[in-house]
Amino acid sequence: MPVPAGALAARLSLNQGSVDRWDLRQAVGGCARHGYPFIGPWRHRVAEVGLPAAARLVRDAGIAVSSLCRGGWFPAESAGERRRRVDDNLRAVEEAAALGTDVLVLVCGPASGRDIDGGRAMVAEGIAAVAPYAASCGVRLAIEPLHPMFAGDRSVVVTLAEALDLAGPYPASMVGVIVDVYHVWWDPTVYEQIARAGGEGRILGFHVSDWLAPPPDVLKGRGLMGDGVIELRRLRAAVDEAGYDGPIEVEIFNQGLWDLPGDELLALMKHRYLAYV
Amino acid sequence: MPVPAGALAARLSLNQGSVDRWDLRQAVGGCARHGYPFIGPWRHRVAEVGLPAAARLVRDAGIAVSSLCRGGWFPAESAGERRRRVDDNLRAVEEAAALGTDVLVLVCGPASGRDIDGGRAMVAEGIAAVAPYAASCGVRLAIEPLHPMFAGDRSVVVTLAEALDLAGPYPASMVGVIVDVYHVWWDPTVYEQIARAGGEGRILGFHVSDWLAPPPDVLKGRGLMGDGVIELRRLRAAVDEAGYDGPIEVEIFNQGLWDLPGDELLALMKHRYLAYV
């Protein structure tokens, strides 16, 4: 579904994880120079600058914040550690609000040990402990299912169906999901679940990259849009069709791309975004 | 669910891919020495020896063949190439029958290009083209869903649900599925789908290894049972409960383990199998 390039360009967001060599100030400057209207910062990059300075930085540059990465990581062996994780999520909520975004991305975390269903129950408890405070701050929790290859070390939530089931008990104004093509493209039910997420008004973000075949690395093997096998335009059309018209974050973890000069990388990603998404 | 070690030992099968350094003759000898009542050979290893010699080898050693790896790989760009793939599957059926196993494992193959749903349709066509001949040879097709991290380069079939949907049009005497813990452990619906597979009488094999967290490699990063995060005993109990009482293949692709002397590796795998499966 071709759309006017201008409409697509107006939704472009730089997930800060795509440009590992830049701090927040540099990334915001890059967004301004290369016409990325949005940025999705990471918390450790915000912490480097300090929250008030980070908020000023993006505001002064006229760049909007599409989301904050990331809360979550709920499962832990002891109740005390799980409370500590929840507290950290409350801080993340405050940071999102201060940065002017209403979307906090949740990477839910792995199970402690072998009990994946137990880990899933702890994620549900964690969300229950954070959601009311988030709502009071005007921040929505965006559960991001990760690719099943991260089920052991990053997220027990691995499908959109599972994320939507977790979101189910809450109104869409409180809890939704992120659709990241890299994490969900393989799912035989992905279009059905995107339609379901849209019908519930729960799509809070759309992330793009590509799946290289075979993947060169588990963590840092994401591809530039157009270099892999994901049907990017079909997925984007499905997300549009489902009613999502917000920012689209380019989020690529790839050592080879991280090694490029930041300005070249931002130009390249924007070019591929317009050509393939 | 503890079971008598003897009952478990009687089901042990060596998938030949676990011992990369050994040819079929060596692997069969290893099975005899270490008390593996079954072996799951790979076709290229059978071809090295020649089919009649391979069949004699296992028969003379008193080792049963649990399955033949592998048919499948159906999607291809041209109709001619797809026909060639089907022909190759017909040869694989004949080889399975000659080796004395009624299970041909199907690794269904990746899409050619970006059309994953098109690839899935080609898999369905391929199975339709092979299943009647397989049935006439007394060989059942066992669709093995692979982990979604192989969706781009090895299999468009990535969940048990999808495999069972593909098997659905055929009687269980013709088409079933392989449950490999490495490929399905992450699935929030895995126990439901194992019960479904069992209810339909379609479980044709059970493969074990472990999931290391984080995985050290995409292809060769499987772990020894007990070294990872998979709930092996719970999954085995579920497969038992679903009515499967056939061979259990140890299938581990791991360079570090491949580098061990074969006899040490077989002893180690059997020890871990009895302790953790």
pLDDT tens by residue, B130-140: 999 999 999 99
Mean pLDDT of A155-172: 98
CA-nearest residue to B148 within chain A is A186
A236 near B CB under 8 A: no
Q: Chain A residue with minimal CA distance to B211?
A: A152
- By the CB < 8 Å criterion, does B161 face chain A? yes
Name the domain count of chain A. 1
d(CA A251, CA A225): 10
Residue B120 near chain A (CB below 8 Å): yes
B152 and A215 in contact by Cβ < 8 A? yes
| Residue A64 host element (H or E) | strand A64-65
Using an 8 Å CB-CB cutoff, list chain B residues near A185.
116, 151
CA dist A194 and B152 (Å) reads 21
Q: Which of B111, B114, B215 sits opposite A149 (nearest CB)?
A: B215
Cα–Cα distance for residue pair B271/B268, rounded to 1 Å: 5
Please name the residue of chain A whose CA is at the shortest distance from the CA of residue B228. A114
CA–CA distance, A166 with A161 (Å, rounded to integer):
9
**Residues of chain B positioned with their CB less than 8 A from the CB of A110:** 213, 229
Q: Which candidate, A67, A91, A88, A64, places its Cα nearest to that of A76? A: A88
Residues in chain A closer than 8 A to B120 (CB atoms): 188
Cβ–Cβ below 8 Å for A148 and B148: yes
Give the pLDDT of residue B6: 81
CATH number, domain of B39, equals 3.20.20.150
Non-local CB neighbours of B203 within 8 Å, separated by 6+ positions: B176, B177, B179, B194, B197, B239, B242, B243, B244, B246
Separation between Cα atoms, residue A188 and residue A166, nearest integer Å: 20
* Spatial CA neighbour of B89 closest among B40, B126, B50: B126
Residue A119 C-alpha, separation from nearest chain B C-alpha, in angstroms: 12
Q: Does A201 touch chain B (CB under 8 A)?
A: no
Q: At what angle do helices A160-167 and A190-199 cross, to 10 degrees?
A: 20
Residue of chain A whose alpha carbon sits nearest to that of B218: A218
Q: B168 in contact with A at a CB cutoff of 8 Å?
A: no
Of B188, B276, B192, residue with least CA distance to B1: B276
A77 touches chain B (CB under 8 A): no
Helix (H, G, I), strand (E, B) or coil at A65: strand
Burial A12-46 (b: 16+ CB within 10 A, else e): bbbbbbbbbebebbebbbbbbebebbbbbbbbebb
H or E stretch at A13? strand A12-15
Among B123, B157, B158, B218, the residue to mutate for chain A (most A Cβ within 10 A): B218
Structure-block tokens of residue A96 = 């999102």
Tokens of A24: 């927040």
The chain A residue lying nearest B214, using CA atoms, is: A153
What is the amino acid identity at position B107?
V
For a pLDDT cut of 70, what percent of chain A falls above it?
Answer: 98
Q: Quick one: average pLDDT of A35-40?
A: 98
In chain B, the residue whose alpha carbon lies closest to the alpha carbon of A214 is: B153
CA B189 to chain centre: 20
A231–B contact, CB cutoff 8 A: yes
Residue pairs spanning A and B at CB distance below 8 A = 91
CB-neighbour burial class of residue B185 (10 A; exposed 0-12, middle 13-18, buried 19+):
buried
Task: Report whether A167 contacts A202 (CB < 8 A).
Answer: yes
Which positions of chain B have pLDDT values less than 70? 1-3
Q: Kindly state the average pLDDT of the residues A113-136.
A: 98
In this structure, what DSSP letter does residue A63 have? P
Q: Do the interacting molecules here have an ipTM over 0.85?
A: yes
CA distance A152 to chain B (A): 5
Q: What is the pLDDT of residue A6?
A: 81
pTM: predicted TM-score of the whole model, two decimal places: 0.97
**Is the CA virtual torsion B181, B184, B187, B191 positive or negative?**
negative
CB contact at 8 A, B224 and B269: yes
Q: Which residue of B has its CA nearest to A115?
A: B231
Residue with tokens 């969900």: A184
> Which chain B residues are within 8 Å of A159, Cβ to Cβ?
188
What is the amino acid identity at position B244?
A: Y
Contact state of A187 with B147 under an 8 Å Cβ cutoff: no
Identify whether the C-beta of residue A214 lies closer than 8 Å to the C-beta of residue A149: no
- B153 interfaces chain A, CB cutoff of 8 Å: yes
**Containing domain of residue B191, as a range?**
5-276
The pLDDT assigned to A275 comes to: 98
Residues with Cβ within 8 Å of residue A234, at least 6 apart in sequence: none
For residue B212, the chain A residues in CB contact (below 8 A) are 152
Using the structure block, give the residue that is written with the tokens 């360079």: B255
Is the predicted pLDDT of residue A193 greater than 80, yes or no?
yes
Q: Do A215 and B159 touch (CB under 8 A)?
A: no
